[in-house]
Structure 1
Amino acid sequence: MLTSECGTGGTGPDPGRSDRPMLADVTPALAALIGVVVGLLGGYLIAWAIVRQPNEGPEPDPLLELRRVLDALRCGGAVIGPIDEILAANEPAIDLGIVRGNRVAIPALLTQVREVRRTGETAAINLDQTRAGRAEQQLAVRVLRLEDGNVLVIADDRSAALRVQASARDFMANATHELKTPVGAITLLGEAVEQAADDPDAVVRFSRKIQAESSRLSLLVAQIVQLSRLQGQAPANAERLEVDEVIGSALDRSRQLAEARRISLTLGGVRGLVVRGSREQLVTALANLVHNAITYSDDKARVVVTTRPVEDAERGDRIAIAVSDNGIGISAEDTRRIFERFYRVDYARSRQTGGTGLGLSIVAEIVEGHGGEVAVWSKLGSGSTFTITLPAAPAEEEVA
């Protein structure tokens, strides 16, 4: 069963909505929360009835107390009266589009409220709703009748949890597909070696191909594991880092490949810049960009890494690190998908060079985890520039 946190969705209702009730999938946490809310409301109503005595001062306002209880919730909550009027509702209920003004805004939910009021049976439903200009929402809703005859509605937005679940499902499907390719190749090559036992040259040739596929498989597994650990999370071992030193380490990882292709690696821009983060992760991100720049450039080309400070009044000082090449370039259509997992611009070249289609996804996850952004400019036949922008280290951490 899917679990999710109670939270807010959009910023308000919209008349352009289509609603579709589904079989309920309400989380245990939401069910427990319902019990707490009902207990609070019931306890208050009993206490209110006890203290409601004549000539003992002004009567407490039950609606005010209801609102206080609902305002303490992180998910949407509303109490509906006997003629479908909203007696109390919190801000998340408005944000999720459950209520509009003093009425229930979702027709399917209003129907369920009336049914619960009539039968007294608690209902748990899922509602999919689409509002103009908003992403589709999936709401887990619980509806129950209170002792005074009013109806309590609690709604939890499950959209983010469902997107994460779908992303994980797609990732596993793609990973399984990608793993089959080298595994299948190794199996076939093993059979070829067996059949070519009397031909030493063929055995050597097939053995080398087995080694190449094994290396590709090892790299793919390592990157899948690395990507699953990252997931845009902030590094646990963040430290003060000299950008020049990080870039130097990244260039060293690709220097042998560059020399084999007679491609020059050049470092330019402003020196002495400082960031905070994981040294290993940032070196990996830059090394992936440099490796791609070399891979998709012609022999005797040039790859340039430049750095510069960026002033940002809203987010604070930042540092931009750009990796540029004059290689084959990327089309506009491919640029939009370049950071997708397992996506390859040139599948044939990627297979030839042992690419997995995960390098840029890893870059994006690392940069996101460091509170930065990665952008790409490219033109077919002219080359590409990938720019990482990271928060600069606070001034008090810089070398005096």
Structure 2
Amino acid sequence: MTAFVVAGVALLALLIGATAGWLVGRRANLSPSIEPAETLAPVIPTVLQPTPPSPAATRMTRAMLLDLIIEGSETGIAVVDDVRDVVFYNEQAVHLGMVRDHLLDDSVWEHARFTLESGDNGRFTFVPPQGTGAFVSTGRAPGRKIQSVSCLSELIADGDEHYAVVYGHDDSENIRVEETRRDFVANVSHELKTPVAAIGLLAEALLESSDDPYSVEHFGERVRIESVRMGNMVSELIALSRLQGAERLPDLEDVEVDVLIDEVLDRAQINAEAAGIKLTTDEDSGLHVDGDHTLLLTALNNLVANAIAYSPSGTAVSMSRRVVNVDGRPMVAIAVTDRGIGIAPQHQLRVFERFFRIDKARSRATGGTGLGLAIVKHVASNHGGAIELWSKPGTGSTFTLTIPLAAAPRSTDAAAREPDKTAIVVHEERELSR
């Protein structure tokens, strides 16, 4: 058969296989529910059947249109014959590591060859080798490494010519979600097991010390501390589960930022004094935000409590407020700054994960649950805002919660003195005296 005939067959195979792959990928996202291309037989002729030409069709052939669709697809497509010649592939196939140097990856070829020899479609998982472009993720999840590619191998034939079409889809996000779920279950089990086991041991000690008032008081207080810690963890888990949808809150209220900060500092004052920490804040601003007062209070309480817990005695924890412009939107930025131990760069991206602790022993000693910053992240997201971290080991950390500025103007004197919304306002700090 001449080269022209082979090319014609390849083009026909590409047209049918790529169209089926595109439809399957779009409909089922290459999940385990994918059906073989044969089930699309009634659909494919309809797709390929000539239709009355439109003005656009006169300027662009169907082949050109199909080529644009395939090249822009997030599904990698590679067509290979029985001697391993790759007759077609798109850029995404290279990106996912399925094709390298115009050759099908060895592990992908093994599955394609099975399809060519047996005629059976096959589903398999492909792990891109290290050092390939597959370790730079797609636009769907920028900056993430591709951990797994879900693949489907199908046979197409025209007479004596047989080709295997391999479709590949980045499945890294599903893998990451599953790993997060497993970690979460394991962490919850472990974290709840610790106080339960402690309470059991302390109860035994109480029974053995019933005739010693001092021991009874000591162990009883320890039981109370562990039960409070377990109760706090359950409460925070419930709060976190309600926030994880990342949906904006349906009913927002007017929240005075100055009142919110004063309330946070009032609550933190006793713990700060016990730890030898000085609380400071800047001047009132008259700023307002639209939000849920209780959730914002919880988020800021968590930030200040963390700052106190990880600061050495004799240092200060400060709160400040300002108006910043984020993508053309005026936002209120509330910053909590400590002069503590700081956070190493390799930990800064993980501090907002559930149950993540840099120093587990210190966290348990201070009664931390490992959920506080995860709650802050979700509160910010649900308010259409964000939480940002700046930290330098040995210098300290600043957590900044940004929330959209209230849309309605205020008639109070404080609001009349509201600073320019595109400027960053710096105030002198004042020490909190209560």
Check whether TM > 0.5: yes
Q: Is 1:128 aligned to residue 138 of structure 2? A: no
Closer, same or farther in 2 for the Cα pair 1:112/1:259, shift >3 Å? Answer: closer
Q: CA deviation at 1:185?
A: 1.0
SS of the residue aligned with 1:311?
Answer: strand
| Structure 1 range deviating more: 156-165 or 262-271 | 262-271
For 1:138, the aligned partner's letter is: S
Q: Is 1:165 aligned to residue 206 of structure 2? A: no
Q: CA deviation at 1:281?
A: 2.8
For 2:387, the equivalent position in structure 1 comes to 373
* Equivalent-residue separation in structure 1 for 2:347 and 2:120 (angstroms): 54
Q: Deviations over 1:214-233 (max 9, x none)?
A: 00111122223333444472
* Equivalent-residue separation in structure 1 for 2:38 and 2:290 (angstroms): 45
Q: Is the CA contact (8 Å cut-off) linking 2:342 and 2:397 kept in structure 1?
A: no
For 1:96, the equivalent position in structure 2 comes to 96
| Structure 1 range deviating more: 217-226 or 314-323 | 314-323
Closer, same or farther in 2 for the Cα pair 1:43/1:323, shift >3 Å? Answer: same
Q: Is the CA contact (8 Å cut-off) linking 2:126 and 2:149 kept in structure 1?
A: yes
For 2:200, the aligned partner's letter is: T
Q: Is 1:144 aligned to residue 154 of structure 2? A: yes
For 1:217, the equivalent position in structure 2 comes to 230
Q: Is the CA contact (8 Å cut-off) linking 1:303 and 1:325 kept in structure 2?
A: yes
| Structure 1 range deviating more: 228-237 or 163-172 | 228-237
SS of the residue aligned with 2:233?
Answer: helix
Q: Deviations over 1:257-276 (max 9, x none)?
A: 34555755333157133445
Q: CA deviation at 1:316?
A: 4.1
Q: CA deviation at 1:210?
A: 0.8
SS of the residue aligned with 1:146?
Answer: strand
Q: Deviations over 1:360-385 (max 9, x none)?
A: 333234335544132032453x5x33
Closer, same or farther in 2 for the Cα pair 1:385/1:126, shift >3 Å? Answer: closer
* Equivalent-residue separation in structure 1 for 2:88 and 2:359 (angstroms): 60
Closer, same or farther in 2 for the Cα pair 1:338/1:88, shift >3 Å? Answer: closer
* Equivalent-residue separation in structure 1 for 2:107 and 2:238 (angstroms): 43
Q: CA deviation at 1:292?
A: 2.1
Closer, same or farther in 2 for the Cα pair 1:323/1:124, shift >3 Å? Answer: same
For 1:28, the equivalent position in structure 2 comes to 32
Q: CA deviation at 1:88?
A: 7.4
Q: CA deviation at 1:237?
A: 3.1
SS of the residue aligned with 1:225?
Answer: helix
* Equivalent-residue separation in structure 2 for 1:172 and 1:371 (angstroms): 28
Closer, same or farther in 2 for the Cα pair 1:112/1:201, shift >3 Å? Answer: closer
Q: Is the CA contact (8 Å cut-off) linking 1:66 and 1:88 kept in structure 2?
A: no
Q: Deviations over 1:314-352 (max 9, x none)?
A: 4644433211234x4236368545445434455454333
* Equivalent-residue separation in structure 1 for 2:409 and 2:82 (angstroms): 65
For 1:14, the equivalent position in structure 2 comes to none
Q: CA deviation at 1:284?
A: 1.4
Q: TM-score, normalised to structure 2's length? A: 0.68
Q: Is 1:41 aligned to residue 65 of structure 2? A: no
* Equivalent-residue separation in structure 2 for 1:317 and 1:274 (angstroms): 11
Same amino acid, percent of matched pairs: 32
For 1:204, the equivalent position in structure 2 comes to 217
* Equivalent-residue separation in structure 1 for 2:168 and 2:42 (angstroms): 17
Q: CA deviation at 1:138?
A: 0.9
* Equivalent-residue separation in structure 1 for 2:343 and 2:76 (angstroms): 45
Where structure 1 has 5 or more consecutive residues not aligned to the other structure, the ranges are 8-25, 52-57
| Structure 1 range deviating more: 288-297 or 236-245 | 236-245
* Equivalent-residue separation in structure 1 for 2:266 and 2:71 (angstroms): 56
Q: Is 1:310 aligned to residue 320 of structure 2? A: no
* Equivalent-residue separation in structure 2 for 1:321 and 1:242 (angstroms): 12
Q: TM-score, normalised to structure 1's length? A: 0.73
Q: Is the CA contact (8 Å cut-off) linking 1:320 and 1:387 kept in structure 2?
A: no
For 2:167, the aligned partner's letter is: I
For 1:288, the aligned partner's letter is: N
* Equivalent-residue separation in structure 1 for 2:193 and 2:305 (angstroms): 25
Q: Is 1:352 aligned to residue 383 of structure 2? A: no
SS of the residue aligned with 1:291?
Answer: helix
For 2:150, the aligned partner's letter is: A
Q: CA deviation at 1:166?
A: 0.8
SS of the residue aligned with 2:285?
Answer: coil
Q: CA deviation at 1:190?
A: 0.7
SS of the residue aligned with 2:128?
Answer: strand
Q: Is 1:106 aligned to residue 70 of structure 2? A: no
Where structure 2 has 5 or more consecutive residues not aligned to the other structure, the ranges are 1-23, 52-57, 137-144, 412-434
